[in-house]
């Protein structure tokens, strides 16, 4: 298993958790639900992650 090093979103709180993202593996971004650390992962290319997050920042 790949040793992803996840960091919680800055929007996460103990009462309202969110997502965790790992960017420590070259050419890979892994995303998981912070409430289910042993659950499924979404693994993306960095360009796809950057496009996704750029789209979020453009939302009103």
Query: What's residue 5's pLDDT?
Result: 96
d(CA 13, CA 11) in angstroms, rounded, equals 7
Query: What's residue 1's pLDDT?
Result: 52
Structural contact between residues 44 and 55, judged by C-beta atoms closer than 8 angstroms: no
Tens-level pLDDT at each residue, the chain (60 residues): 569 999 987 777 777 778 899 999 999 999 999 888 899 999 999 999 999 989 988 877
Is the overall model pTM greater than 0.85, yes or no?
A: no
Residue spans per domain, the chain: 16-52
């Amino acid at each position: 298993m790949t040793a992803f090093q996840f960091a919680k979103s800055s929007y996460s709180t103990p009462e309202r958790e969110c997502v965790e993202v790992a960017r420590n593996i070259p050419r890979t971004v892994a995303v998981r639900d912070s409430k289910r650390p042993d659950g499924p992962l979404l693994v993306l290319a960095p360009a796809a992650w950057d496009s996704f997050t750029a789209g979020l920042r453009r939302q009103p």
